[in-house]
Amino acid sequence: MDTIDTLALMRAPTALRPLLGQTVLVVEDSRFASEAVRMMCLRSGARIRRADSLETAHRHLAIYLPTVLLVDVGLPDGSGIDLIKPLADASPRIGVIIGTSGDATLKGAVMAAGADGFLEKPVESLLAFQTMVLAHVPADRQPPAPRIVKDEVISPDLIAYQDDLSHVAQVLGRASDSNTLDYVTQFLGGVAHSAHDHDLGHAITRLTQIRKEGRNPDQGVAALSGMVQLRLAAAGPI
């Protein structure tokens, strides 16, 4: 494994681009959520690389160490917490490790695993993103004061939302067993939350409740699939 990205660190942060010199690895399976982080990094001066699973993240980390790790708790092949703990204990350590989730109750587990911070989804405030990262960056990598602070709500292109919906449609088209439904409700619930698609979020909540009560989920799955198809046809939330 290479050490921290020294080439990136040679670039000094500025008041306008406070994360210049940072390399962010975002571990996130949602294209919509990843696009929001990409836009924040672009505005902040940071380089970004993306992994969509634990397996892909490990492949990245076998080659280089980012200066910032932003990892979602819910991933298709496991929990992001299982990635955070060994990296938090590693030497050399990634400078800033941040966990994310749409479930705020997971903050305690993320912090207990050794993360430096937790961002609740949707991650859409540029100021909150920059502030969280800079709170854990060494003094010699801080931007000059006074920092030019401009809060901005980041709204990703709906093409990324469409990509996530297409992925769910394909998954549901292949199977609807218990493991598949676990993944779909977790993934799509996060996507709906990030996109502020409340009707879709309510449908996911209803399906989750049906399954908890041990009832046949077929009707709920059919309703959810129909809502996904309607959004694909409309090219976005309805």
pLDDT at 4: 52
Report the relative pairing of strands 78-79 and 74-75 from DSSP bridges.
antiparallel
Structure tokens at 103: 């479930």
Q: Is 39 helix (H, G, I), strand (E, B) or coil?
A: helix
3-state helix, strand, coil in the chain (%, to 5): 50, 15, 35
Q: Is 10 helix (H, G, I), strand (E, B) or coil?
A: coil
Superfamily of domain 6-141: Response regulator (3.40.50.2300)
pLDDT at 145: 74
Structure tokens at 208: 């989750």
- Eight-state DSSP code of residue 65: B
pLDDT at 55: 97
Chain centre distance of CA 215: 31
Question: Do you know the residue count of the chain?
Answer: 238
The one-digit pLDDT tens for each residue of the chain (238 residues) are: 455 555 555 678 898 899 999 999 999 999 999 999 999 999 999 999 999 999 999 999 999 999 999 999 999 999 999 999 999 999 999 999 999 999 999 999 999 999 999 999 999 999 999 999 999 999 888 888 766 667 789 999 889 999 999 999 999 888 778 999 999 999 999 999 999 999 999 999 999 999 999 999 999 999 999 999 999 998 767 6
Residue 171: phi and psi, rounded to 5, are -65, -45
Q: Where are the domains of the chain?
A: 6-141, 158-234
